[in-house]
Amino acid sequence: MNDILFERLQRRLGYAFEDSERLRLALSHRSVGAHNNERLEFLGDSILNFIIAQALFDKFPAAREGQLSRLRSQMVKGETLAEIAREFEIGPCLLLGEGEMKSGGQRRDSILADAVEAIIGAIYVEAGMQTCRERVLDWYQTRLATLSLDTPAKDAKTRLQEYMQSRQQPLPDYRVAEVDGEAHAQVFTVECHVSLLDTPERARASSRRVAEKKSAAQALKRLGV
């Protein structure tokens, strides 16, 4: 890994590893061989679920178990973790086998999400639960602050699709308008075409899927949903 990328990532994480090999291991996909991040990922997954569960328990004292479970699922699902990974620009730091690198593994949601969980596991192993909790809650600060018991369980694309179906309208059409940046750090501009709107909604993100969801959310807002 490039040392500059390595240091930059640690600054974004808000944590500097005393043993840099722990971070290297957390970023090592199984395609590099037996010395990979799967064990740290296993540990980090459990720790993340606990930290977020406790945060939700404290934030919503009147919430029922089912409501808390739904919100936790939204917070710890792979898609959310992949978004966090992109915010930290983890992709270019990943250690991948040649085949995985050529197939775009550093942009794949599942690999990015696993790396975030592995980093959580690595921080826990080195610094313990208190430091690990502080880092995770800092990463999730904005998401937790904007979360409410009324937060929809379905994502914007699903909600927009159901809205159009309920009105017997054609389904939304998502088109990639532009792709900028180097292969390892592409930015997608997506247009969401909706028959009930006279102009498409455009959104940019480092993932086509995220850009589609952003444009769908903007379309829902214009539709008054």
HSE-up (13 A, CA, CB side) for residue 212: 14
Catalytically active residues, by annotation: 45, 117
Contact criterion met (CB below 8 Å) for 186 and 176: no
> To 10 degrees, the CA torsion angle through 115, 210, 58, 72?
-70
Q: Which two tokens stand for residue 121?
A: 């596991």
Output the known binding site.
41, 114, 117
The answer regarding whether domain 3-145 maps to CATH 1.10.1520.10 reads yes
The answer regarding whether domain 156-223 maps to CATH 3.40.1160.10 reads no
Q: Strand, coil or helix: what is 194?
A: coil
pLDDT per position in the chain (225 positions), as tens?
A: 568 888 999 999 999 999 999 999 999 999 999 999 999 999 999 999 999 999 999 999 999 999 999 899 989 999 899 989 998 999 999 999 988 888 888 888 899 999 999 999 999 999 999 999 999 999 999 899 888 887 766 788 888 998 999 999 999 999 999 998 876 667 889 999 999 999 999 999 877 888 898 999 999 999 998
Q: Which two tokens stand for residue 29?
A: 């996909």
Contact criterion met (CB below 8 Å) for 26 and 115: yes
pTM for this one? 0.73
Nearest Cα to Cα of residue 134 among 21, 55, 41: 55
For the chain, domain boundaries:
3-145, 156-223
